[in-house]
Amino acid sequence: MSILAPSALDLEALVTDMWASFVGAPELLLPAGPPADDAVLWSATVTVTGEWRGMVSVDLAEAAVLGVTRGMLGFGDDEEPDAASCTDAVGELVNVVGGNVKSLMPGPSTLSLPVVSRGAVEVPSEMEEASVLHLTWCEAPVRVRVLTTTTSS
Amino acid sequence: MKILVVDDSRVMRQIVIRTLRQAGHGGHDIVEAENGRQAVELVQTEAPDLVLSDWNMPEMTGIDALLTLRGAGSAVPFGFVTSEGSEEMRARAQQAGAAFLIAKPFTPEAFDEALSGVGLVAS
């Protein structure tokens, strides 16, 4: 059995480009350890179904969610985005990562619309983590994961 | 000139509009739609000079909107701005009559190049 998924390096290049293009903040995304077990994270997911099946998740602490949403909407530091804008912004992040992951994997396949939740997302039992990127941005944890099913080699 | 920006994400519509400005195209009139169905209606009522559309949207996808427009005889220049930039998606877009596909994440330069290709000069 083998796992077919983008590498952590592919993910890092993609997430760095996306941050520069959409968030536009001077603060850098930096490598970090996994978030603390009791950290409350927003989770955004998309699924890819077809020739390749997988799930992509972007998980961020609330401070990162607010900062990302401000950056994407061009808000100042003193402006507080509402929950709908935060959901929209985080959903768009995972949509971009998911679309790019889909493009790197064998097709044809279909990308779902994003689902965003405040709290941990349920991972389907047949999926396992294939690539993970642990980062920190403005001292808040950011995690990007690709999960997929095992395939016969 | 008038540009119709179609995306189910309000945040992404804002980013597209900001990027148009950064690319030197801030002087065009902008109309917004949340999905393909609304885009088809606005092409009829607003007569935009260009449609910039996401692909994956609820109600009606961007590709279905393009096929509907072409089926109804509309020749409005239509470009995709989407996270799905594979060769397969580019081929599907071109086959359906799209002028270009800009992959997310994008740069202002990518917008300027695409818009210049359909005759929209910076304004």
Do the beta carbons of residue B30 and residue B5 sit within 8 Å? yes
Mean pLDDT in chain A? 92
DSSP state of A129: E
Residues of B in contact with A103 (CB under 8 A): 84-86, 89, 103
Do the beta carbons of residue A92 and residue A117 sit within 8 Å? no
B15 lies in a domain?
yes
Check residue A152 and give its pLDDT: 45
DSSP state of A125: T
Q: What is the mean pLDDT of residues A31-41?
A: 90
Check residue A77 and give its pLDDT: 86
Count the neighbouring beta carbons within 10 Å of the beta carbon of residue A9. 10
DSSP state of B8: S
Q: How far apart (Å, rounded) are the C-alpha atoms in residues B7 and A48?
A: 20
Sign (positive/negative) of CA torsion A37, A145, B34, A79? Answer: positive
Q: Which residue has the tokens 């699924």?
A: A47
Does pLDDT of A1 surpass 80?
Answer: no
Residues of B in contact with A108 (CB under 8 A): 88
Q: How far apart (Å, rounded) are the C-alpha atoms in residues A120 and A80?
A: 23
User: Which range of residues forms the domain containing residue B64?
Assistant: 2-117
Listed in sequence order, the residues at least 6 apart from A37 whose beta carbon sits closer than 8 Å to its beta carbon are: none
Does A89 sit within 8 Å of B82, measured CB to CB? no
Domain CATH code at residue B54: 3.40.50.2300
Q: How far apart (Å, rounded) are the C-alpha atoms in residues A70 and A57?
A: 21
Residues of A in contact with B105 (CB under 8 A): 14, 17-18, 20-22, 96
- Pairing outcome for strands A30-31 and A128-137: antiparallel
Q: How far apart (Å, rounded) are the C-alpha atoms in residues B84 and A97?
A: 9
A59: pLDDT confidence band, cut at 50, 70 and 90? very high
Check residue B73 and give its pLDDT: 97
A51, A120, A29, A64 alpha-carbon torsion, rounded to 10°? 130
**ipTM for this prediction:** 0.91
- Residue ranges of domains in chain A, CATH in brackets: 8-20+40-148 (3.40.1550.10)
State the total domains in chain B.
1
The residue of chain B nearest to residue A111, with distances taken between CA atoms, is: B56
B67-106 pLDDT per residue, tens: 999 999 999 999 999 999 999 999 999 999 999 999 999 9
B123 lies in a domain?
no
B40 lies in a domain?
yes
State how far residue A35 is from chain B, nearest Cα, in angstroms. Answer: 26
For chain B, percent of residues with pLDDT exceeding 90: 97
Does B84 sit within 8 Å of A111, measured CB to CB? yes
Q: What is the mean pLDDT of residues A110-130?
A: 91
**B14 vs A18, A73, A107: nearest CB:** A73
B58 lies in a domain?
yes
Do the beta carbons of residue A141 and residue A64 sit within 8 Å? yes
Query: Who wins on pLDDT, A2 or B16?
Result: B16
Kindly report the backbone phi and psi dihedral angles of residue A100, in degrees, each rounded to the nearest multiple of 5, phi listed first.
-70, -40
Mean pLDDT in chain B? 96
B98 lies in a domain?
yes
The reported pTM is 0.93
B51 lies in a domain?
yes
Return the number of CB contacts < 8 Å for A and B. Answer: 64
Q: Which two tokens stand for residue B112?
A: 């300027």
Does A92 sit within 8 Å of B11, measured CB to CB? yes
B35-44 pLDDT per residue, tens: 999 999 999 9
Q: Which residue has the tokens 């998740």?
A: A57
Nearest Cα residue to A123 out of A96, A145, A98, A97: A145
B122 lies in a domain?
no
Q: What is the mean pLDDT of residues A32-48?
A: 93
* A140, burial (CB in 10 Å: exposed 0-12, middle 13-18, buried 19+): buried
Q: What is the mean pLDDT of residues B40-65?
A: 98
Nearest Cα residue to A58 out of A25, A92, A7: A92
Does B9 sit within 8 Å of A91, measured CB to CB? yes
Q: What is the mean pLDDT of residues A39-64?
A: 95
Does pLDDT of A153 surpass 80?
Answer: no
State how far residue B82 is from chain A, nearest Cα, in angstroms. Answer: 8
Residues of A with CB under 8 A from a CB of B: 14, 17-18, 20-22, 69, 72-74, 85, 88-89, 91-92, 95-100, 102-103, 107-108, 111, 113
